[in-house]
Structure 1
């Protein structure tokens, strides 16, 4: 929904330049692009046109792969995170090896990239065990790719990866026999099942967009089993909409895009009247079991649902907290059913909602707090399954915990202050700050400072100067899907929220709430 907003007449504490930027973000809700993924681009590169020609269905994807191999022979995000680099490199290597075998590449253009990809995987096989940043469905996808690489006789250290095959079998055991594909997160990674699916089993899985599981790679695989016009159109449209010709790792994701942008701006202090026209559409897509990252084609989850509840309540709509009950577990809340590990950030978002009714949800609140206390690293910070940087979950946790459980958040605040870089920013991976991670830190410090009775003016002022200097620079991929990605509007809104939150904090005696 792209309603016109006259920012000059909008009553708000935020300055006019930030309001205009916010209006620009809101006008693009549901249209924001995410960065291309080598993994998904490789899966589309494996599609062939029908007989008798059997050519590349999307030759531009092969060109993309050849142009985006890193100097060390790998494919993947800007920051070298082992799980991302491994799955992207293996997928790209298999795709190019198949195309080379089928004589679909220019003579001599495939052998060297394939050899460099194989060499990278052989050198880095040991890194996966110690990497806390597991990409989505890695335990499902990677073993299938290994089997395909072996059939291509690629010289990989297969024995080094045997433990991942074990993880796949444990994951498959979580799904009910006979209905494991339907209305489950497994639809997001159908390609991991390889030859286990029949055309009949794919019936009814696609959403209205033509996508299966909000995944270009899953949809591409489904097209090899049961070709459909809608699926092919979805893939064609997806490639057209990415700025560099690659395929994103998630699509569609219009609900996630809307919810997270709006929540960032709400917490940044933008007025309800300014946001209301963009929150209202959530009512139309709300379901009895909550909300998911897209209108259809993927199950609902407690993360999107919890944030949507907060948004809808902010404009006066009563949404029952009981919708979250099916996601309860003995240890906090599951984001999705059948998942192996819970999400820290999802539990924080649920906690933030449940604390609005503490008398009726004391048991659930206690359960989440116990989970958060037990899942900390070094008793101070958290890793999350949806984001590679510890600053994402930890800063969000500090915002909430400083209000509801300040003793639990105190060590996080100390860790945050201790890990600031000399340039005034924060980053878990770089010797200098990134705007995304710094924005999370700024919002957390502004929220926490009054609650811990601290003066953090110097730290916050320097971080704001960092953001204003670097906010227009490219954003590294830090979000964890099947591969690393950046949801551009979501991250830009987090940066903008930090700036507006700072401005608002200067005009009030108490920092804005979470």
Structure 2
């Protein structure tokens, strides 16, 4: 019997794996996990999907960068039949506004098929107007969205106003702000920069949409060649690469980022610490993190400094990455004291980063796991009170239907799994909340056995299985039936493209490939523990 499609996909479509399994026996989650760790170490900068938003910023701001034609082709190929880009609803706004601005700017550039670019721009602009005028839901809480949207709407309006030959019949109509969004934050940042104040580090990631006066800010400097770990931000900071004094490290970073996927680029790269923390935590939680190279563990431990860990060099340290790294290290036998989390404690909950505008239940769920492990192994630890407080805050944040939602992921299944699993491990009194989450998961399974916000995905189905099987609650018959249907869905031979739906929040939605594969593999391991091995 050969490996199931989901296991083949989880280790990279089976490349180089079947030969390691004697007698063509089924590839179990533990064998696949070893292959996944090997894939992670073979590509230490991380594996993440390209971004329409970020790629369009390079088309607009860095047409000189190698891979420009491939980036244009990517934008044209990614355009939806309705003219927009990205996920359904208002999730389409950021990628669409970025792609439209880039294509409008590119219509006069050298290109084998200029009419194709012009027509895509017109269709995109029409879709954008529809989004802005009739959208009945607020714009998702994405990093920098209240800076990105106003800035790019202004640039589109300027391009249309200066184009006397525009094919857009309503070119003179102003582009309205989307529902629920104002220019308040953009104006406050503009005033900050006009006063000569330095650009706060948390804004470096969206440097490409700041006022041009900020682009010469002496306080902004690349880290490992990148500004804010973002190709778009780095290109905006660099400007003309041929000018005297242009930073060669920044140019090197952009050339590398563009070459990683032959033109298109992700929002954040590299994601080494983020990817390793999440992959190893997922696998270790279910006992599937064997054979992790010692240098990988040591490098992850070294990434947690006195101020915590950052997702990528040049980004601020954050409680989420710090907590997941701490938990993974503890489960791998290299516990690091969680003192670095102290700076993120607000007294009620933990913020993702200092100065955060909102709150995150998944960050606090991960904090609970990091602190909970420490207090379990050292009951007198001073973080015991903080762990209890965070657990209470998480229970209070549960929605009436039994789910949780979060600002870092488009799917409630990710948030619900993160919170339910952490409560199950480190909040003994949270059983009723976990049972409500299980009921919600059972009620939302699709007829094909999957779970998903917009359609069934392997990722969201895995999170649902974590809630059903990874929380230690009594397994009712209805749960067993739901698990069997879910495993049949995961075993279905679907294309990898169809199962790689971007759901994670950055400036655009993205898909962290190996992190999602680890979530699926750990779900399969849970199913095996429960007596439901994937065939």
TM-score by length of 1: 0.85
Q: Residue 46 of structure 1 corresponds to which residue in structure 2?
A: 60
Give, in angstroms, the shift of residue 127 of structure 1.
6.0
Q: Evaluate the alpha carbon distance shift between residue 270 and residue 400 of structure 1 in structure 2; reply closer, same or farther with a 3 A threshold.
A: same
How far, CA to CA, are the matches of 1:417 and 1:268 in structure 2? 22
Match of 1:67 among 77, 83, 91: 77
Match of 1:207 among 217, 223, 229: 223
Matches within 5 A, 1:76-475: 76=86, 79-83=87-91, 85-101=92-108, 106-126=113-133, 130-131=137-138, 133-153=140-160, 154-155=171-172, 157-161=174-178, 164-169=181-186, 172=189, 180-182=198-200, 184-201=201-218, 203=220, 205-208=221-224, 210-224=225-239, 227-242=246-261, 245-272=263-290, 274=292, 278-294=296-312, 296-356=313-373, 357=375, 360-403=382-425, 404=427, 405-430=430-455, 433-448=456-471, 450-452=472-474, 454-455=476-477, 456-470=479-493, 473-474=496-497, 475=500
SS at the partner of 1:352?
A: helix
Question: Does the CA contact (< 8 Å) of 1:121 and 1:156 recur in 2?
Answer: no
When structure 1 is superposed on structure 2, of 20-29 and 332-341 the one drifting more is 20-29
How far, CA to CA, are the matches of 1:48 and 1:273 in structure 2? 42
String of CA shifts for 1:49-97, please: whole Å, max 9, x gaps. Answer: 68xxxx9982332232223211101122xx32413x1111111111111
Give, in angstroms, the shift of residue 495 of structure 1.
0.8
Unmatched runs of 5 consecutive residues or more in structure 2: 1-16, 161-170
Aligned residues: 486
Give, in angstroms, the shift of residue 101 of structure 1.
4.5
| 2:527 is aligned with 1:502 | yes
Question: Does the CA contact (< 8 Å) of 2:281 and 2:324 recur in 1?
Answer: yes
Match of 2:506 among 470, 481, 485: 481
How far, CA to CA, are the matches of 1:81 and 1:283 in structure 2? 40
Q: Evaluate the alpha carbon distance shift between residue 478 and residue 200 of structure 1 in structure 2; reply closer, same or farther with a 3 A threshold.
A: closer
Give, in angstroms, the shift of residue 388 of structure 1.
0.5
SS at the partner of 2:226?
A: coil
SS at the partner of 1:33?
A: coil
Q: Evaluate the alpha carbon distance shift between residue 66 and residue 471 of structure 1 in structure 2; reply closer, same or farther with a 3 A threshold.
A: closer
SS at the partner of 1:340?
A: coil
CA RMSD of aligned residues (A): 3.3
Q: Evaluate the alpha carbon distance shift between residue 214 and residue 168 of structure 1 in structure 2; reply closer, same or farther with a 3 A threshold.
A: same
How far, CA to CA, are the matches of 1:273 and 1:281 in structure 2? 15
TM-score by length of 2: 0.82
Give, in angstroms, the shift of residue 17 of structure 1.
3.7
When structure 1 is superposed on structure 2, of 395-404 and 490-499 the one drifting more is 395-404
SS at the partner of 2:176?
A: helix
